[in-house]
Amino acid sequence: MTEAEAQDLIARVQKANDTIERAIKRIDELTAENLTLRLALEQYEEPVEDDEPEDCSWCRGCGEGDYDGAACRKCHGTGVEPVEKESDV
């Protein structure tokens, strides 16, 4: 290999290294941006509500009250956890 070819090869390797370093830097920037966006999204993400109603926390879904034949005082015998209105909160 001649000296000119060696110098050309060195120049190409250095150019390739520069390209790789720029690509790595850009990947790092995109990763940081992605993390920032994910954290921001988590702050504004609303929880997904389950369509299935929850069992009443007092009667555990059976609807029965404290005494024989009585309905639960919280869910009035439905067995479903009552949903609070926004005005009640």
Domain boundaries, the chain: 1-45, 49-84
Q: How far apart, in whole angstroms, are the C-alpha atoms of residue 54 and residue 72?
A: 15
3 state SS of 4: helix
| pTM (2 d.p.) | 0.42
Q: How far apart, in whole angstroms, are the C-alpha atoms of residue 63 and residue 44?
A: 36
pLDDT of 87 reads 63
In sign, the C-alpha dihedral spanning 30, 36, 37, 42 is positive
3 state SS of 86: coil
Q: How far apart, in whole angstroms, are the C-alpha atoms of residue 30 and residue 22?
A: 12
Q: What are the residue ranges in the chain where pLDDT is below 50?
A: none
Rg of the chain's alpha carbons, rounded to an integer? 33
pLDDT of 88 reads 53
pLDDT of 73 reads 93
In sign, the C-alpha dihedral spanning 82, 84, 88, 89 is positive
